[in-house]
Amino acid sequence: MSAFTSKFADELIANAAYIGTPGKGILAADESTGTIGKRLASINVENVETNRRNLRELLFTAPGALPCLSGVILFEETLYQKSSDGKLFVDILKEGGVLPGIKVDKGTVELAGTNGETTTQGLDGLGDRCKKYYEAGARFAKWRAVLKIGENEPSELSIHENAYGLARYAVICQENGLVPIVEPEILVDGSHDIQKCAAVTERVLAACYKALSDHHVLLEGTLLKPNMVTPGSDSPKVSPEVIAEHTVRALQRTVPAAVPAIVFLSGGQSEEEATRNLNAMNQLKTKKPWSLSFSFGRALQQSTLKTWAGKEENVKAAQEALYVRCKANSEATLGTYKGDAKLGDGAAESLHVKDYKY
């Protein structure tokens, strides 16, 4: 095979397919210590380990949430944390039918000579780290590459560097039993229209799949985490149906059928926007050989965070808010969301932060 045959092949294929189960999706709870600090700051909560642990316990024990999820992406610290009654988070998730995943990249660095474009680091010792994560219970990984749209961006250099970084990360994961989520995020920043976003997305995804082929990645044991195709943040909004049409067409033109599932990132979209767009895609009557689901961070946690505000007495209400978003997105993967989710505080709030530093 062009794809390399790993001893983990069957397991990778089974896990990737499971994550793509219709009705389920991924909670991205892998905010680094720095990033979660910003979230906690927004609700006046101190960025200490107990608070980070409390937040994740709130999320993972929310009644009704786990059945809507097939995976949760964790930051390294969280992979080894326990609930307040001493149970490892990874065990809570596994018992709830949710695969633990792990963020393995080490952030972005600038590409010299470009206009603020970046590449992602994290390949050094990645194989050993993956082994350790597998031992700790992780079964999938995530690596975020970032591109932007501008006059001369994304440059061929940026596309090539990010695509080949993703490919190298992907095959190392597969050698060590982790399903790689391939995430080539094209930021929404800018005043470009949806056609431009579509053109760039198609170009970037084509480069990604060429790179994955060159690196002998087993596509059946991977997932794709792309941006939806939308107008730039400074451009007029369009309907979910228009977003769905452009997004699915871009994917039809670039993502081979061997990929079992596509799990969208939410970028700066509000909770409700992200859900409606995903729903519209799943209602579209056209060829979709991969399932279309979610891997949302902010778009699943925003209302929950605000409701919690770091207070013990708010936990129940915060968990209820999380359940509402999980259920809404679960329905969206089936195209049955009626838009009637009890909008929590901030559910309609845009989560766009210009030039978002992850």
Partner 1 sequence: MSAFVGKYADELIKTAKYIATPGKGILAADESTGTIGKRFASINVENIESNRQALRELLFTSPGTFPCLSGVILFEETLYQKTSDGKPFVDLLMESGVIPGIKVDKGVVDLAGTNGETTTQGLDSLGTRCQEYYKAGARFAKWRAVLKIGATEPSELSIQDNAKGLARYAIICQENGLVPIVEPEILTDGSHDIKQCAAVTETVLAAVYKALNEHHVLLEGTLLKPNMVTPGSDSPKVTPEVIADYTVTALRRTVPPAVPGIVFLSGGQSEEEATLNLNAMNKLDVLKPWTLTFSFGRALQQSTLKAWAGKTENVAKAQATFLTRCKANSDATLGKYTGGASGDSAASESLYVKGYKY
| Sole residue written with tokens 């990604």 | 208
Using CB under 8 A, which of 31, 202, 271, 272 touches partner 1? 202
Q: Which residue, 183 or 202, has its beta carbon nearer to partner 1?
A: 202
By CB under 8 A, residue 285 contacts partner 1: no
By CB under 8 A, residue 160 contacts partner 1: no
Which stretch in 34-42, 65-73, 106-114, 286-294 sits in contact with partner 1 by CB under 8 A? 286-294
Query: Which 21-80 residues touch partner 1, going by CB under 8 A?
Result: none
By CB under 8 A, residue 207 contacts partner 1: yes
- Residues annotated as catalytic are 183, 225
By CB under 8 A, residue 198 contacts partner 1: yes
Query: Which 310-349 residues touch partner 1, going by CB under 8 A?
Result: none
Written in H, E and C, the secondary structure of the chain is CCCCCCCCHHHHHHHHHHHCCCCCEEEEECCCHHHHHHHHHHCCCCCCHHHHHHHHHHHHCCCCCHHHEEEEEECHHHHCCECCCCCEHHHHHHHCCCEEEEECCCCEEECCCCCCCEEECCCCCHHHHHHHHHHCCCCEEEEEEEECCCCCCCCHHHHHHHHHHHHHHHHHHHHCCCEEEEEEEECCCCCCCHHHHHHHHHHHHHHHHHHHHHCCCCHHHCEECCCCCCCCCCCCCCCHHHHHHHHHHHHHCCCCCCCCEEEECCCCCCHHHHHHHHHHHHHCCCCCCCEEEEEECHHHHHHHHHHHCCCHHHHHHHHHHHHHHHHHHHHHCCCCCCCCCCCCCCCCCCCCCCCCCC
By CB under 8 A, residue 199 contacts partner 1: yes
Q: Which residue, 131 or 288, has its beta carbon nearer to partner 1?
A: 288
By CB under 8 A, residue 252 contacts partner 1: yes
Using CB under 8 A, which of 41, 48, 109, 257 touches partner 1? 257
By the 8 A CB rule, do 263 and 224 touch? yes
Please, what is the minimum distance in Å from the beta carbon of residue 260 to partner 1? 10
Please, what is the minimum distance in Å from the beta carbon of residue 32 to partner 1? 33
Using CB under 8 A, which of 63, 97, 116, 256 touches partner 1? 256
Q: Which residue, 54 or 201, has its beta carbon nearer to partner 1?
A: 201
Q: Which tokens belong to 67? A: 């059945």
Q: Which residue, 256 or 339, has its beta carbon nearer to partner 1?
A: 256
- Report the candidate in 107, 62, 100 with the shortest Cα–Cα distance to residue 81: 100
By CB under 8 A, residue 249 contacts partner 1: yes
CA distance readout (Å), 24 to 107, 143, 224, 326, 330 = 28, 21, 15, 9, 5
Query: Which 209-248 residues touch partner 1, going by CB under 8 A?
Result: 209-210, 213-214, 219-220
By CB under 8 A, residue 157 contacts partner 1: no
Using CB under 8 A, which of 43, 123, 206, 242 touches partner 1? 206
By CB under 8 A, residue 203 contacts partner 1: yes
Using CB under 8 A, which of 7, 285, 287, 338 touches partner 1? 287
By CB under 8 A, residue 98 contacts partner 1: no
Please, what is the minimum distance in Å from the beta carbon of residue 252 to partner 1? 4
How many residues sit close enough to partner 1 to count as binding (CB under 8 A)? 31
CA angle 324, 237, 265 (to 5 degrees): 50
Using CB under 8 A, which of 253, 342, 354, 357 touches partner 1? 253
| Residues of the shown chain interacting with partner 1 in the complex, contacts defined by CB under 8 A | 1-3, 195, 198-203, 206-207, 209-210, 213-214, 219-220, 249-258, 287-289
